[in-house]
Amino acid sequence: MVTVPYVSRAAPATGTDIHGKWRVVSVLDSAEITGVSEQRARSYVGQVLHINADGFRFQNMTCKRPSFAESEQETAHYLRKSWHARSGNLGLPDRVTVIDARCTDVFLKGGGVIVFNWKGYFLEAAKVTGNP
């Protein structure tokens, strides 16, 4: 496995540029251990995630200077090993591009959609276009 730094480009090979604003559209599943209640996780729907070269910002937390190292992983194995979670409810392909955002992983789903883990819950977010 080769890990390379993520470089923002107009049309990355994955079809998704992670920099920008992302709106959480759903809670997909949870890991075996979570840091918040399911009710709290559902309150994340509609909130905006900001990702830029300086950091990953969601709610009141900023992960400064993430490497955005990108790797391709076998989804089920990676989620079990790294997150103690199942992959079945996430709608990810069998092999997924994982981007290290320092405090979490970003999984590229394609079509302007990502999945990320926040306090033990896997959230799906859609890229915000225009000027919301």
3-state DSSP assignment of residue 5: strand
CA–CA distance, 92 with 33 (Å, rounded to integer): 21
Residues 41/32, Cβ–Cβ less than 8 Å:
no
Q: Residue 53: what pLDDT? A: 87
Classify strands 48-52 and 55-58 as parallel, antiparallel or unpaired: antiparallel
- pLDDT (tens place) for every residue of the chain, 132 residues total: 333 333 333 233 344 579 999 999 999 999 999 999 999 999 999 999 999 988 999 998 999 988 899 999 999 999 999 999 999 999 999 999 999 998 999 999 988 999 999 999 999 999 998 765
Relative to beta strand 113-118, strand 105-110 is antiparallel
Task: Kindly report the pTM of this predicted structure.
Answer: 0.84
The pair of structure tokens assigned to 117 is: 């883990």
Overall residue count recorded for the chain in this entry:
132
Tokens 């009710």 correspond to 39
DSSP symbols for 6-73:
----SS-TTS----EEEEEEEEEEE-SS-SS-HHHHHTTTT-EEEEETTEEEETTEEEES---EEEEE
Task: Tell me the C-alpha distance between 131 and 32, whole Å.
Answer: 37
